[in-house]
Amino acid sequence: MAPANIARTIFRAAEAWADKPALIAGNRILTYGDFVQAAGRLAAELERRGMRPGDRVAFLCADSIDYVLLSLAILSLDAAIVPISPGLMLDECAALLEHLDVRHFLADVAVAPDPAAGEPFRTPDLERTFRWASFPSRRPEPAGYAQLQPAFIRFSSGTTGASKGVVLSHETIHARTAAANAGLRIARDDVVGWVLSMSFHFVVTILLFLRKGATIVLCGDPLPQALVAALHAHPLTVLYASPIHYRLLSETATLDPRAFRALRLAVSTAIQLPEAIARRFFERFGRLLTEAYGIIEVGLPFIHAPAAGAYDGRLGRPLPAYEIRLDDGEVQIRGPGMFDAYFSPWQLRADVAPDGWFRTGDLGELLPDGELRLLGRRKAVINFSGMKIFPQEVEAVLDRFPGVAESLVYGEPHPEFGQLPQAKLVVRDGAGPLDIAALRAFCRAHLAAHKIPKAFETVAALPKTASGKIRRA
Strand order across the beta sheet in which 358-366 lies: 314-316, 372-377, 358-366, 330-334, 323-327
pLDDT tens-digit series, residues 274-288: 888 898 999 999 999
Q: Which residues lie below 8 Å from residue 105, measured CB to CB, with a gap of 6+?
A: 57, 58, 60, 97, 117, 118, 131, 132, 133, 134, 135
What's the rounded Cα separation, in Å, for the pair 16 and 21?
A: 12
pLDDT at 160: 35
d(CA 200, CA 60): 12
Comparing CA positions, the residue from 245, 249, 270, 248 lying closest to residue 259 is 249
pLDDT tens per residue, range 107-116: 999 999 888 7
pLDDT at residue 163 in the model: 56
Indicate where the chain has its CATH 3.30.300.30 domain(s). 381-458
**pLDDT tens digits, residue range 34-74?**
999 999 999 999 999 999 999 999 999 999 999 999 999 99
| CATH number 3.10.20.30 is the correct assignment for the domain at 381-458 | no
pLDDT beyond 80 at 378: no
**Average pLDDT in the 20-26 region?**
97
Q: What is the pTM of this model?
A: 0.84
pLDDT single digits (tens) 385-436: 767 788 888 998 999 999 999 999 999 988 667 789 999 999 998 888 999 9
pLDDT of amino acid 195: 96
Instruction: Please report the pLDDT score of residue 184 as a whole number.
Output: 97
Q: Output DSSP code: residue 258.
A: G
CATH class as words, domain 6-139 = alpha beta
CB contact set of 260 (below 8 Å; sequence gap of 6+): 231, 236, 266, 285, 287
CATH node for 172-378: 3.40.50.12780
The whole-number pLDDT of residue 109 equals 95
Cα(217)–Cα(195) distance, rounded to whole angstroms? Answer: 9
pLDDT value of position 61: 96
Whether residue 21 contacts residue 31, with contact meaning beta carbons closer than 8 Å, is answered with yes
Report the distance separating Cα 122 and Cα 472, nearest Å: 40
Residue 159 has pLDDT above 50, yes or no: no
Higher pLDDT, 416 or 189: 189
Please determine, for residue 175, whether its predicted confidence score (pLDDT) is greater than 60: yes
CATH 3.40.50.12780 domain span(s) along the chain: 172-378
Q: Does 335 score more than 50 pLDDT?
A: yes
The pLDDT assigned to 313 comes to 77
Angstrom distances, CA of residue 148 to CA of 98, 205, 211, 212, 337: 22, 22, 22, 25, 13
CB 185 within 8 A of CB 207: no
Which one has a higher pLDDT value, 342 or 115?
Answer: 342
Residue 362, judged by CB atoms within 10 A of its CB (0-12, 13-18, 19+), counts as: buried
For residues 169-189, give the mean pLDDT.
97
**What percent of the chain shows pLDDT beyond 70?**
96
Distances (CA, A) of 62 to 6, 332, 350: 22, 34, 35
Cross-strand pairs, 419: 413
Q: Is the separation of the CB atoms in 157 and 191 below 8 Å?
A: no
Instruction: Determine the angle formed by the axes of helices 275-285 and 243-250, rounding to 10 degrees.
Output: 40
Q: How many CB atoms lie within 10 A of CB 370?
A: 10
In 3D space, the residue among 438, 442, 432 whose CA is nearest the CA of residue 398 turns out to be: 442
Contact 266, 246 (CB under 8 A): yes
Q: How much is the pLDDT for 35?
A: 97
Q: Is 239 within 8 Å of 264 (Cβ atoms)?
A: no
Top mean-pLDDT range of 30-39, 267-276, 370-379: 30-39
Residues of the chain with CATH 3.40.50.980: 6-139
Segment holding 347, helix H or strand E:
strand 347-348
Radius of gyration of the chain (CA): 23
What gap in Å lies between CA 378 and CA 361, rounded to an integer?
6
Average pLDDT over residues 297-310: 84
Mean of all residue pLDDT scores within the chain: 91
Confidence of residue 447 (pLDDT cuts 50, 70, 90): confident
Are 373 and 357 spatial neighbours (Cβ–Cβ below 8 Å)? no
d(CA 167, CA 181): 22
* Cβ-Cβ contacts under 8 Å for 78 (sequence gap 6 or more): 5, 53, 54, 149
Predicted confidence at residue 346, as pLDDT, reads 93
Instruction: For 215-258, write each residue's pLDDT tens digit.
Output: 999 999 888 999 999 999 999 999 999 988 999 999 999 999 99
In angstroms, rounded to a whole number, what is the distance separating the alpha carbons of residues 315 and 320?
A: 14
- Decide: helix, strand or coil at residue 373: strand
pLDDT band at 344, cuts 50/70/90?
confident
Query: Is there a contact between 373 and 365 (Cβ–Cβ < 8 Å)?
Result: yes
> Average pLDDT for residues 73-84, to the nearest whole number?
97
pLDDT for position 157 = 40
pLDDT exceeds cutoff 80 at 311: no
Instruction: Give 96 or 252, the one with higher predicted confidence.
Output: 252
